[in-house]
Amino acid sequence: MKRLHQYQEEAEATLNSLEGLQSVGTDSFFYTRLRARMESTPPNFWVRAAYFLSRPAVSLSILFLLLLLNGFLIFGDGPESEEGQQHDYVTQQISYFDNLNNP
Amino acid sequence: MTGLSGKIGLQADEAELIDRLRRGDESAFRQVVESRKDLVYNTVLGLLQHPEDAEDVAQDVFIKMYESIHQFKGESAFSTWLYRIAVTKALEWIRSRKRKKRFAFITGLLGDNNELRHDPPDFHHPGVQLDDKERASRLFKSIAKLPDNQRVAFTLHKVEGIPYQEIAAIMELSVSAIESLIHRAKNNLRKDLEDYYKKNG
């Protein structure tokens, strides 16, 4: 029990160890380095686009949309093409009987 | 003055400075960078716990600010907006480091041991009092294990000394949500530290 209390005190002391933390500054010539970096890497559309597309949320969303579109094309077209096939079959039958009647 | 306004020194001519920034005035950009570079660096350093990378990310913050100044509508203070960019950039970096770490684990399984490259050494914040250095280093290790939201709220409050209300504006959450995040962060830290001292006591 005494030990547990000791651990809790240690944890509390560590939790308070950031009291009186001093603010720190950047090294000298930060602005010069920043300007140099901005001039050496002009914004490139394709690099940005590639970076954007490589984000997991974006790439997974695109993949999901493609799968959705794929599924829609496969299953969504089913009844329509069946209808088309029926229509073709009826047309064939009519032309068959037409041929029989008018040899 | 306290908090952001006090720290940055919100000036009456801020609107004019932002207007000059929008027009691509280099001297305005320099003025903004020189007056806010330490604040941005400090924020990013507290979150990243890595001095060299903190400088790179601080540069990213100013580049992003320069590129997206046209999107700044003035709905919040300019400094709040800048803090928001700093937090977003720092979190992007933390996530990218986590991805690299996971990748290093996979390549480690395949025989190419990258673990040392991706495992950062103990972080000693240069602003910590000498007597508290070891304890603070241990605390930063525990902070790094917190979920992102708790980590950001706790760091902004404890390291940057920003009041709850201004953290709420930066994180676009309510004050009670920030109170809850910091409360949960403290509980998680206490638990992690107690476990550590039990193991190493």
Report chain A residues whose CB lies below 8 A from the CB of B57: none
**What residue of B is the nearest CA neighbor of A42?**
B63
* Nearest residue, CB atoms, B201 vs list A7, A13, A37: A7
**Residue B194 pLDDT > 90, yes or no?**
yes
B-interface mutation test, from A4, A28, A34, most B Cβ less than 10 A away: A34
**B137-147 residue pLDDT tens:** 999 999 999 99
Per-residue pLDDT tens over the stretch A3-22:
778 888 999 999 999 988 88
Asked if residue B87 lies in contact with residue B77, where contact means CB atoms within 8 angstroms, the answer is no
The contact set of A with B (CB < 8 A) is 3, 6-8, 10-15, 17-27, 30-31, 33-34, 37-38, 43
pLDDT tens digits for range B147-177: 999 999 999 999 999 999 999 999 999 999 9
Q: What is the pLDDT of residue B10?
A: 44
ipTM: 0.78
List pLDDT tens digits, range A33-74.
999 999 886 656 777 777 777 777 888 899 999 999 988 888
| Mean pLDDT score across all residues of chain B | 86
Has residue B39 got a pLDDT over 80?
A: yes
Burial class of residue B124, CB neighbours in 10 A (0-12, 13-18, 19+): middle
| Domains of chain B listed by start with CATH number | 1-121 (1.10.1740.10), 123-201 (1.10.10.10)
Per-residue model confidence (pLDDT) at position A78: 57
Position A5 scores a pLDDT of 84
Confidence (pLDDT) at B120: 62
Residues with Cβ < 8 Å from B182, sequence gap 6 or more? Answer: B150, B153, B154, B157, B164
**Cα separation, A19 vs B125, whole angstroms:** 12
Among chain A residues, the shortest Cα distance to B31 is held by A31
Percent of chain B residues past pLDDT 90, beyond the cut: 64
- B128 Cβ contact partners less than 8 Å away, ≥ 6 residues apart: A17, A18, A21, A22, B136
B33: closest CA of chain A, how far (Å): 7
pLDDT in tens, A69-102: 988 888 876 555 566 677 777 778 778 777 777 7
| pLDDT at residue B184 tops 60 | yes
* Residue B85 pLDDT grade (very low, low, confident, very high; cuts 50, 70, 90): very high
Contact B193/A14, CB-based, under 8 Å?
A: yes
| Residue B53 burial (C-beta neighbours within 10 Å; 0-12, 13-18, 19+) | middle
Q: How confident is the model at residue B31 (pLDDT cuts 50, 70, 90)?
A: very high
Distance in angstroms (rounded) separating the CA atoms of residues B49 and B45: 5
In this prediction, residues B192-196 reach a mean pLDDT of 94
Task: Locate B158 and state its tokens.
Answer: 């404890």
| Token digits of residue B126 | 């240069």
State residue B20's pLDDT score: 92
Per-residue confidence (pLDDT) for residue A42, from 0 to 100: 60
Chain A residues with CB inside 8 Å of B55's CB?
26-27, 30, 33
**Of B52, B21, B22, nearest to B36 (Cα)?**
B21
